[in-house]
A and B are shown apart, each in its own frame.
Chain A
Amino acid sequence: MSAVIEVDRVSKRFGALSVIDELSFSLEQGEALGVVGPNGAGKTTTLNMIAGDFRPTTGRVRFDGRDVTGLPAHRRCRIGIGRTSQVPRPFDGLTVFENVLVGASFGGAHRGHRARDVAVDALRRTGMLAKANVRAGELTLLERKRLELSRALSTEPKVLLLDEIAGGLTEGEVLELIDTIKSIHAAGVSIIWIEHIVHALLKVVDRMLAMDYGRKLIEGDPHEVMASDEVKNVYLGTEA
């Protein structure tokens, strides 16, 4: 077992506000880790620090044993950290294919035919190939979420960070998305998935991490974590 992502005593403060407080956890090679916690627990902030959107106030982030704390987001993407954003960030003026081609050309560092093939493959795996020539600005919510996933895949990530990719979708759409994510995981991609839709997480992840107030509450077997007093307390407000 070797850790592909290591979050090592990371803290993040915005002025006087402490968002993440001495958080440590790791993601093993080939593993899928679910992250749950109430709004404001610091889940997205944690993902942003792994992806390089901003740097931790203290602590280190390591990828494949290499310290990447100082690397900007585009460099982390190129070495294999792919991410989707909670609010999709499509390039509205470009077509779906061109959106994905950006990831293949820059994150994946491919050129010409190879970039095209990687982009087509990412579209195929997320069921977006039929929409290839549609402008991203004209997509529905499910399609925008799928595009977000396609784009992340086109960078050929070793680690995929998913931020509430199932949020806002119908039950049927969530099930479709679960199948897609399962097949990505089965192909060997390690995943960290933040999600409020717990049953979706339980179908995919190997391990669960629960967070509250920027700290680790409990981590372990997904079902045990969800059944634990700590998580029940946070979600239902009952006394432990």
Chain B
Amino acid sequence: MSDVPAPAHVVRATTTSRVLGLLGVLLVAWLAFLAASDNPATQTKIVELCVFVVVASMWNLLAGYTGLVSIGQQAFIGLGAYGLIVFGNGYGQDVYFSIVPAALIVLIASVPIALLAFRLRGGYFAIGMWVIAEVVRLLVKQYKDDPIKGGSGTSLDVPTDLYPKAERFQTTAFIALGLAVLAVTVIALLLRSRIGLSLQAVRDNEHGAGGLGVNVYRERFIVFMIAALFTGAAGAVWYLLKIRIQPDTAFGVADWTAPIVVMVVIGGIGTIEGPIIGAALWYLVRDYVTSTDSAIQLSDEWYLIVTGLLAMVVALFFQRGLWGSLQRHFPSLQVFPIQRRLVVDDEVGDHRDRKRST
């Protein structure tokens, strides 16, 4: 290139992102404080919320950023959960530690699944992933021996002398919160990076990204593996709390991917904040309508039906969801400083920002 460009630098964080980021840290601290309390009901809610924050964020990373709409993420939930059973019950490992090999098994399993599913595009990929999840579920049901015990399911072995109940709830709540923070941090760092730039490009125009040198297949593969790893870990954490596991629920599309899609669509697809807000709202409202003293009473099934309809309305008329619509009106609104703002020094003359240049 012939010209010598004028000095320019890139600014990432904004005042809004610093303030909102601080609020986010306070929110996590508050959740950690709640997790430390001796209230199993609160700890259960924290685990459920955090698990869904992880899986919804990961589904959004796939669907919202790389255009891979999967309705088979329950395959990774179930594999992570049964990984926990195999390492905990089968090999007698510490149940907390068993999350790690369980998640790694899911990571390895995601490679052949991706090789198979990536041969399909768009809607065919979505259905293909569902079919894969069903096949895995049926295979697990065929394994009738210990420690899987086929379709009737089994329970995670947590003898109370080794794992006192109060302690297990507290530890699980901390693990779930830690996993959620780690998952969102990984997503934010990924999207902030060079790869993240290309993921956002793929999100907006796949062919345009390929034409600018982005290897769309490879980027998708990486993201698919990251999503599988965290979704598997989340599945294991869930059953650390629930103990009782059956293939039909661990691999159930209505138990997992259906609510995930609802959360992400309502919260705002293609944003980091959207799935977190969607998952939080989903749980807050569900808590209200299923509690005995509320004005509106809904069973879990009816709740999914009503929120599903709501998600359809959002998808039709507010495609960006809650957070995306807010961002449209307040363009500087971002918790995670992903955007790059270019400051050309000689033209803007803003030299104070220079120390923050990248």
A residues adjacent to B (C-beta < 8 A): 51, 53, 72-75, 77-78, 83, 85, 89-95, 97-99, 101-103, 105-109, 111-113, 115-118, 120-122, 124-125, 129, 132-133, 135-136, 151, 154-156, 187
What A residues does B2 contact at CB under 8 A?
Answer: 187
Residue from the list B5, B198, B208, B331 in contact with A120, Cβ < 8 A: B5
8 A/B residue pairs, CB under 8 Å, sorted by A: A51-B211, A73-B210, A74-B211, A89-B211, A94-B200, A95-B339, A95-B341, A133-B342
Question: Quick one: given A92-B204, A93-B204, A102-B197, are A74 and B210 in contact (CB under 8 Å)?
Answer: yes
Other than A107-B213, A112-B358, A116-B10, give 17 A-B pairs with Cβ distance below 8 A: A53-B211, A72-B215, A74-B215, A75-B215, A77-B212, A83-B211, A85-B211, A91-B203, A95-B339, A98-B340, A102-B213, A102-B214, A109-B213, A118-B1, A124-B3, A125-B3, A129-B347
A55 CB to nearest B CB, Å: 14
What secondary structure prevails in chain A residues at the interface with B? helix
Is B211's CB under 8 angstroms from A77's CB? yes
**Complexed CA–CA distance, A98 and B194 (Å):** 11
Is A102's CB under 8 angstroms from B1's CB? no
**Complexed CA–CA distance, A90 and B320 (Å):** 18
Is B200's CB under 8 angstroms from A155's CB? no
Is A106's CB under 8 angstroms from B214's CB? yes
B214 CB to nearest A CB, Å: 5
Question: Quick one: given A133-B342, A156-B1, are A93 and B270 in contact (CB under 8 Å)?
Answer: yes
B303 CB to nearest A CB, Å: 32
What is the chain B residue whose CB lies nearest that of A84? B211
**Complexed CA–CA distance, A115 and B204 (Å):** 21
Question: Closest 7 interchain pairs by CB?
Answer: A107-B213, A89-B208, A106-B213, A91-B204, A77-B213, A97-B342, A103-B212
Is B213's CB under 8 angstroms from A132's CB? no
B176-207 CB mask vs A (1 if < 8 Å, else 0) is 00000000000000000010011011011101
Interface presence of B277 (CB below 8 A):
no
Is B5's CB under 8 angstroms from A117's CB? yes
Is A94's CB under 8 angstroms from B214's CB? no
What B residues does A74 contact at CB under 8 A?
Answer: 210-216
What is the chain B residue whose CB lies nearest that of A188? B2
Interface presence of B8 (CB below 8 A):
yes
B195 CB to nearest A CB, Å: 10
A203 CB to nearest B CB, Å: 21
What A residues does B194 contact at CB under 8 A?
Answer: 105, 111, 115
Interface presence of B344 (CB below 8 A):
yes
Is B197's CB under 8 angstroms from A105's CB? yes
CB neighbors of A among B302-355 (8 A): 331, 339-342, 344, 347
B45 CB to nearest A CB, Å: 33
A106 CB to nearest B CB, Å: 4
Interface presence of B209 (CB below 8 A):
yes
What A residues does B214 contact at CB under 8 A?
Answer: 74, 102, 106
**Complexed CA–CA distance, A239 and B125 (Å):** 53
